Amino acid sequence: VQSEAATTLEEVMDLRAFFGQSRVLIVAGKGGVGKTTVTAALAHLASSAGLSVLVIELEGREGLNVAFGQEGPLDYAESVLRAAGAAPEDAEDDSAVPAGSVRARTITPDDALLEYLADHGLGRVSKRLMATGIVDLVAGAIPGIRDILVLGKVKQIERNRLADVVLVDAPATGHTLTFLSSASGLLDAARGGPIRSQAADVVDLLADPARCQVVLVTLPEEMPVNEVVDAAFALEDRVGVALGPIIVNGCFPSFAAGETSGAQAGAQAGLALSADVVRALDDARRFRLVRQRLQEEQLARLAQQLPLDQLRIPYLFAPTIGPAEIDELCDALAAGIHELRHPAEAAS
């Protein structure tokens, strides 16, 4: 039995309030900082509070499945990563809520266009149109149309309330900016017709913080912090989308043993360590101390340059991120969310 992130009524209420702020969360950030991992953890966390979750992958890659202990890439058709279930067995009180489901799917421009055409009575010709490469043709003529097709589909999912929480695992930062600014770009360019109305709907979605927010993911390191600060300002200025808390992934745990030398550690453990081992322990200790200092500097700089809440989650020393690791990240997220919602308690 997996442990559950939300086991008390208070935790459930915190999580529901947190996820209730906006139906669509777009998880964005620099390549490789942990967007997919964080998306999986947020999905698991929201479902543990009884909310139904739909995750949207834009690149059809694996990672999300692995985090949920499953295999194979996602598809345009929904798959179930976690079934809605009974209350967790290890719940601390009987108020625990049954888990919500986590479903996942991809959205590609081609599939979104096919569906759009089918919805508008053009289903029979659409397959043939696709075979002629119409999307590439149109995409060449109208910049941003691919992004509008995808975001239009996200908007439709949000409008139809297909889940309590919709998580979008966004492409890496540079592309996310283009992706999210495509709608306002098209709105300026198109004078009328279905493309314009689709773009206008997407602009409305992005401009309403109760419907959509961007959650930026970063690492406590210099380059990722620089990039996330730039991205945050660009998203607010160019897209006008609201930003949720920054998720700082890969935080090293604070290093309590920093003052203990290798020789002292050996003596405390009653071990006769060779000179090589003592040296290796001292090297490791120095590495951790340097890493800790750099991390603290970067976290402080991030807080100073971006007036956004931070949710910090640990670096996990594991070969792959599977369900057990996602549980651990959920615990850290839940603790951070609790602190955000009850700051006085945390300070006392």
Ligand X SMILES: Nc1ncnc2c1ncn2[C@@H]1O[C@H](COP(=O)(O)OP(=O)(O)OP(=O)(O)O)[C@@H](O)[C@H]1O
Q: Which residues bind ligand X (CB under 6 A)?
A: 29, 31-37, 63, 172, 249-250, 313, 315-316, 321
Q: Which does 23 bind (CB under 5 to 8 A by kind): Mg ion, ligand X, none?
A: none
Least Å distance between CB 138 and ligand X?
A: 27
Name the amino acid, one letter, at 128: R
Least Å distance between CB 174 and ligand X?
A: 11
Question: What gap in Å lies between CA 230 and CA 49, rounded to an integer?
Answer: 33
Least Å distance between CB 176 and ligand X?
A: 10
Least Å distance between CB 63 and ligand X?
A: 5
| Nearer to Mg ion (CB atom), residue 36 or residue 182 | 36
| Nearer to ligand X (CB atom), residue 16 or residue 288 | 288
Q: Which does 246 bind (CB under 5 to 8 A by kind): Mg ion, ligand X, none?
A: none
CA nearest to 39, candidates 25, 59, 60: 25
Q: Which does 117 bind (CB under 5 to 8 A by kind): ligand X, Mg ion, none?
A: none
Least Å distance between CB 295 and ligand X?
A: 13
Q: Which does 52 bind (CB under 5 to 8 A by kind): ligand X, Mg ion, none?
A: none
| Nearer to Mg ion (CB atom), residue 36 or residue 249 | 36
| Nearer to ligand X (CB atom), residue 31 or residue 123 | 31
- In the block, tokens 């839940």 appear at 334
Question: What gap in Å lies between CA 200 and CA 307, rounded to an integer?
Answer: 29
Nearest residue to Mg ion, scored by beta-carbon proximity: 36
User: Interaction with Mg ion in 22-41: which residues (CB under 5 A)?
Assistant: 35-36
Question: What gap in Å lies between CA 321 and CA 334, rounded to an integer?
Answer: 18
Q: How many Cα neighbours within 13 Å face the side chain of 82?
A: 30
| Nearer to ligand X (CB atom), residue 210 or residue 318 | 318
| Nearer to ligand X (CB atom), residue 10 or residue 328 | 328
Least Å distance between CB 169 and Mg ion?
A: 6
Least Å distance between CB 40 and ligand X?
A: 8
| Nearer to ligand X (CB atom), residue 280 or residue 318 | 318
Size of the site for Mg ion (CB under 5 A): 2
Tell me which long-range contacts 292-295 makes (C-beta under 8 A, separation of at least 24): 292/252, 292/254, 292/255, 292/258, 294/220, 294/221, 294/222, 295/220, 295/221, 295/251, 295/252
Q: Which does 194 bind (CB under 5 to 8 A by kind): ligand X, Mg ion, none?
A: none
For residue 32, give both structure tokens: 């490789």
Q: Which does 255 bind (CB under 5 to 8 A by kind): Mg ion, ligand X, none?
A: none
Q: At what angle do helices 145-159 and 134-141 cross, to 10 degrees?
A: 110
| Nearer to ligand X (CB atom), residue 231 or residue 313 | 313
Least Å distance between CB 128 and ligand X?
A: 34
* List of residues contacting Mg ion (CB under 5 A): 35-36
